[in-house]
Amino acid sequence: MKTSTAIGYFLTSIIVFLTPIAPLMVVIALAILIDTFLGLYKAFKTKNKITSHKLSRVAFKILFYELLIIILYPIDVYIMGGSIYGIEHLLTKAGVVLLVFIEALSVDENIRAINKNRGFEFYFNKLLSVIKKGKATFTDIKKKL
């Protein structure tokens, strides 16, 4: 068997093994990209200098986070038996939730820096007030009918 064929089989088997966690890996990558774009926008708005060193940390972060999930998945499958408390891949999903939470905190910091210390809470409360007004309007219309 040729070496290139063996390498192809090996890489294919790794990709097939990691297929169940592909959506989780995409979620992590999207969270990092959202944080990066908001960080770049923050640097633009606050007139901070953007350096290649800071941008290279994004690639390292993506690589580190993805490798962490790739390491957690086999532990989840082979050591934990694939299911904890009836939830499949709980360890892997918990890792993803933790990493996305870390990125969400960073996104909140960037939003606060851009919007004069108004973060998620401000916009969440604004959304709630719009929903309450819409509900009140809907109830008024319903009463009139």
pLDDT tens, per residue, the chain with 145 residues: 577 788 888 889 888 888 888 899 999 999 999 999 988 888 888 888 877 887 888 889 999 999 999 998 888 888 877 777 777 878 888 899 999 999 998 888 888 888 877 766 777 777 788 888 887 777 777 777 6
Total-model pTM: 0.73
Contact assessment for residue 110 and residue 35, using Cβ atoms and an 8 Å cutoff = yes
Query: CA torsion sign, 62 to 10 to 12 to 96?
Result: negative
